Every structure is written in structure tokens, then in C-alpha cells.
Amino acid sequence: MLLRRYGGLALGALVLIGFWALSLISYLLFHTTVEITSMVVSFCIFTLAWNQRRTMDNGYLLFVGLASIFIGIVDLLHAMTYKGMGVFPSFGADPPTQLWIAGRIVQTLTFLAAPFFLNRKVRTLPVMATYTVLTALLCWSVFAGVFPACYIDGVGLTPFKKVTEYVVSLLLAVGLYLFRRRKEVFDPLIFRLMTWTIALTIVGELAFTLYSGVTDQFNLLGHLIRLVSYCLLYLATVQTGLTKPFSMLFRNLKQSEEALQKERNFVSGVLDSAGALMTVADANGLIIRFNRACEELSGYKQADVVGRRLVDFLTPPEDRAEIRRAMIQLQQGRSPAAFEGRWILANGSSRWISWTISLIHGEDGKVQYVVGSGLDITERRQAEAELKEREERLRMMVDSVQTGMLLVDKETHAIVSANPAAAALIGLPPEAIVSRSCSVFIKCAGPDGACPLATTGQAPLDAVLKTFDGRDLPIHRTAVAVTTDGRQHLMESFVDMSAQKLMEEELRSLSMIDELTGLYNRRGFLTLAPKEMAAADRVGGSVALLMVDISGLKEINDAHGHAEGDRVLIAMAHILREAFSESKLIARFGSDEFAVLAPQFVGARPSMLVDRLERLLEDYNTTNSRDYEIRVNTGVARTQPQKPSSVHDLMNQADNALYVEKRRRVMAR
């Protein structure tokens, strides 16, 4: 490899020395040979680009290749008009210099415009027509004497020629910058060779601004640099195009395939990382994608299900007919957007899945893919069934309650009659109830002492029934105006709501308890904490709020599984109950957060709460041999009797203290 690399450099150096020696013998022969070499390279590049114009997907190289023939034509005219060639004997040194500038204009515009065709289709005929017109105009202007003078015998280069060379160099530098911004489009070897080609062309142009005679050393240096740049251009296009055609012609195709593969990997990663169940099937229902969530829930691997229909092994037999009908609808373009169904898992158990279906259509409008997004709703359905059962039980209890009825005089509110159910609820015989005011037994008077049901059309309301034995029974009361014996009465009916109230309290309690730890949940805490704080305020006491955050619970879940994480939460709940047995309000506030409200907290140091908790934690970690320890961050806030505060104020103070504690521990590591 080293011999090949340095051998090539040595050969190139010998060639340059040979050309330099040739210039000493005959500068005209040297100049003609350099120009012929550049013309041959230009024609070869054009030939390659023209014959591969339908398959070459690199617009930059194709554009440069098509323009090369015109650069070569101008360079050919430059060589033929050179002093001493004898083709145009009447020409002096200015016309070949003018043609040189014309060629550089065409070349510069080519390298400047080529980067803009990297992502555009090169339209061959418009490009060829444009360059034909441009080249013809430039050559005509030279031969017609319109082109500005570039060289004056006895004087040297004109300011126009020098300025043009500087502008050409600047524009070539811009073209080089635009080219290098799209490095990823090119084969690395082609990119390096083209970079050196443009860079050396710029250096050569600058050298051509310094000569005073057409055969002096700067003119010689410029032509030698030009020779090297064209050799590199030959290596970048002609030789590479013949020896590595696929690297040159299909570079974009390879990059597109790589980008497509990256996109596929990205989509696969998204599907596998999604928490939802994701399946992709073709129009016939054959599975082609089965994400990780599906694998974990079903117990089947993707390799086991690809090419099969889920209905054949995951759907219960009694549900398969309905699923097959849905698949027929999908094939006909009619999609059941959402439905619920069961999966029979690999271990034989079943789960309820809620599916949302999306269809992907092909260009012909037919269904090509069926994408299913599912959620495991087994627990939700179980909760719904339990709730339905409780509701049914509550309905039966309500239906079994007897309705009490009292006929009350609308003016005097005296009870005229009472039915047995009302008497049973009150605890007195009907005759002992009659003639008494209804307010003796039913407590529902408004703020002004008036009965809210004294006027017909009032909505039903809840009230309290005062029994003979001193109990207060919650009741639901309605009243209907009736006329008996010519007098206005109210038929008041009421039902004992005791059982229903108990049931409502039970449901309310269930909604306030954390199922895993048995502690209050966030709702329960926020419901009861204001009452505890108000009770402390009435006796002039204070309360302290301790916020506890388990450190590293996620790492325990990741290392040992969520079951172990649940055991940590349960253990933490036991430790908190033991540490704060005098507290009535201990809650699991979040996934790994707990809150303790200690009423009537007395003591100079709120940190006593933290000390008590940390001692019990240390005892637990010592007696339980596990490869991890339960560690917590804490924050304490305390109310001031002389400065009332809300639950949320206290929580914000405790959260701030917790944040400071976390930050302190992180800084201490």
C-alpha cells in the first residue's frame, strides 16, 4: 500500500520534471502538450457522463461532465491561437489570453452551479443548449474583437485580466465551499480528488495573474498546476468511473438504502419501545410486525407469529368468527376503527385488549397494511365488573328499603297521618305521631326556619329523620301537594338512606385508599389534610408535613423487577406506620413518594421526624439481607399557629425542603 501510494507520487513528480524540461527545450511544445492533456481529460469526462447520463444519480458529476466538452473546446481554441502555432498567424498574444479567460469563465460557472444540481435532476438538453450559447458568445466576442483586452505586448497583463482572474478565484472558492458542504453525497476518494482539483485550479489562476511574459516562470508554474489539477480531475471522474462505477454512479442509491435501513431500524425501535401493543398485518391478516410489548404480554416471539394470523392462535375459538368478519371488512376497505377482544396467552390465561385499527392504502387505493394499536384493559374490565356488582347490590338495597309517608297540613305543618313504614322508621306507633309538627321528626328547615317544601314544585332534598330513640337517620324527602277534605296538604314521602349512605361512604373510602400499600392515596390525603389542620388550629396547635421520596426505586425495578419494587413500597408503608403511629394521616402520594401529616407536632426540631424514620430504616436495612438498601430523601414543613397556611402551601414548603435535601446529597457524592 505504501509502495503504491508513494510510487504514484514519485511518478507524478517525474512527469512534472519532464514537462518542466520540455518547457526549456520548447515552451510552445510544452504549452501545447499541457493544453492537449486538459482537452483529452475534458473530452473523456464528457464521454463518460454522456453515456451514463440515464443511470448516473449524482447530479454534480453529471453536470460537470456535460460542461467539460465546452471547456475543452475553448481550451482547444486557446491552444490553436497561441503565438507560434501558425493556425492564426495574424493573432498576437492577446487573443489566446482572451480565450483563456473565456475558458475559465465557463469552468468557474460550472463549478459554481454544479452543487445546486446535487438534489435536482439534470436536464441534458437544456444544459447543453445553455453551454452552447454561452461558449459561442464568448468565442465570437474574442474573434470579433469585442472581448476586453487581456494582454498587451510590451506591457503585459491588463487590469481586466488580473481582476477577472481574482474574481474567478473567488467564485471557485465559493464553489469549493458549496461542494464541501455536501460531503456525504460523494464517495470519499472522489470527494478528496475533487477538492484538490478545485483548490489547485484556484492556485493556478492566482499564478496566472503574476506573469509579465507569456513564457515566464509564473506562466510556467500556472500551467504545471493546471496539469496536476486536470490529472486529479481525470482520477476523480474517468478512472474512478471506470474502475468503481457503482461507487460513483450509485452513491446516492447506496445512501438512500442506508437511510431507508436507518428509518426501518428507527421505526422498529419506536415500535419496540412503545408501551402499547403494536401489530402490523398485510391485507390478508398475516402478521409482519409484532412489537416487544406484544411479545411480553402474549408469551410469543415475533419469529413465532410472523406469517401467521393472530385469529388462528391468540383469539378464543368463540370469538374467531367475529374477527374473521372484521378481516373481510378490512379487505373491502371498511375498517372497524375500534373494538375489544380477548387474547389467549401462551400460558393459557386470557387478557382483554382494546384495539384501534388504522389502514394503510397502496397507490391503487387498496388496503396494503393493517396497523393495530392495543391496550391491555383486563384490569379495567375487572374494575368495571366489580363496580357493576356493587351498583347492583346498592340497587337491591335501595329497592328493599320501605318508603315512609306522612300527610302534613300545609298551613300548620301538623302531621295528619303516618303510614306503618314511617312509624317503623320513627319508632312510634302511628297514633303517637299524628298531630305533632313534622319538624319534630324531620329536620330540614331553611335558614329562616321555614319548611323548604312548603311550596309545591320544590325539588327533592336530603334531610334527617329524628327517631324516637334519639337517632338521626339520613333520608331522601319529596313532597306532593294534595287536597283532602277541602284542605291543602303535603304528601311527604321519605326513604331511609342509611344503607345507601354507608355504601357511598364505602365507595368514597375505596377511592381514597392506595391499593398496594393500604395507605391513603393522594386524593385521600388532600381530602383529609385540611380537616386535620383545621382541628389543630382550633386548639392552638400546629402540624408538620413530612414528604418522603424513595431514592433509587427505578434502579431496583430495573434490576429486580416490579414485584420487588412493590415489596419496597409495602415495606416503606409499614416503616412509616411504625415510625408515626400517632399520626392519623399517612399517604402514598406518588409512585415513590409518601406524605405524613403529624398533628399537634411539638418540639424544637422538625428534624425529629426525619431522625425517627431514618433509625427505623437503618434497622430494616440491617435485618433484611438484600443486595440493596432502602434510602430516602425527606423534606419537612410545619405550620405556625399565628400564621395560617393551606395544605398546598405546606406541600410547597416540604417539596422545597425535599429538593434542597436531594441537591445536598448529590453535591456530597
HEC assignment per residue over 106-174: HHHHHHHHHHHHCCCCCCHHHHHHHHHHHHHHHHHHHHCCCCCCCEECCCEECHHHHHHHHHHHHHHHH
> Would you place residue 243 in the very low, low, confident or very high pLDDT band (cuts 50, 70, 90)?
low
**What is the DSSP secondary structure assignment for residue 455, as one 8-state letter?**
S
Cell of 64: 460537470
Sign of CA dihedral 498, 499, 504, 505: positive
Region 197-211: mean pLDDT is 79
The per-residue pLDDT for 448 is 47
Round to whole Å and give the CA distance between 208 and 200: 12
The per-residue pLDDT for 652 is 92
Q: 356 pairs with which residues across the strands?
A: 338, 373
246 vs 591, residue with greater confidence: 591
Phi, psi of 63, deg, nearest 5: -65, -45
pLDDT beyond 60 at 373:
yes
- The amino acid at 101: I
pTM: 0.41
pLDDT beyond 50 at 341:
yes
Neighbour-count burial for 631-666, b at 16+ CB within 10 Å, e otherwise: ebbbbbbbbeeeeebebeebbebbbebbeebeeeee
Least confident range from 39-53, 489-503, 533-547: namely 489-503
**CA angle 398–402–407, rounded 5-degree value:** 125
Round to whole Å and give the CA distance between 585 and 470: 32
- Greatest mean pLDDT among 438-447, 529-538, 650-659 lies in 650-659
The per-residue pLDDT for 588 is 92
* Helical (H) or strand (E) element with 248: helix 245-249
The per-residue pLDDT for 535 is 80
**What is the DSSP secondary structure assignment for residue 286, as one 8-state letter?**
B
**What is the DSSP secondary structure assignment for residue 239, as one 8-state letter?**
I
pLDDT beyond 90 at 137:
yes
Helices (H) and strands (E) in the chain, counts: 23, 17
Round to whole Å and give the CA distance between 331 and 368: 9
367 vs 629, residue with greater confidence: 629
Q: What is the DSSP string of 13-81?
A: HHHHHHHHHHHHH-HHHHHHHHHHHHHHHHHHHHHHHHHTTTT---HHHHHHHHHHHHHHHHHHHHHHT
Least confident range from 161-170, 451-460, 462-471: namely 451-460
Cβ 130 vs Cβ 138: under 8 Å? no
Round to whole Å and give the CA distance between 649 and 299: 48
> Would you place residue 5 in the very low, low, confident or very high pLDDT band (cuts 50, 70, 90)?
low
Region 604-622: mean pLDDT is 81
The per-residue pLDDT for 399 is 43
> Would you place residue 358 in the very low, low, confident or very high pLDDT band (cuts 50, 70, 90)?
confident
328 vs 214, residue with greater confidence: 328
Round to whole Å and give the CA distance between 191 and 95: 35
Round to whole Å and give the CA distance between 207 and 221: 7
Region 51-69: mean pLDDT is 80
The mean predicted confidence, pLDDT, of the chain is 78
pLDDT beyond 50 at 2:
no
> Would you place residue 204 in the very low, low, confident or very high pLDDT band (cuts 50, 70, 90)?
confident
Round to whole Å and give the CA distance between 53 and 123: 10
Q: What is the DSSP string of 268-284?
A: HHHHHH-SSEEEEEETT
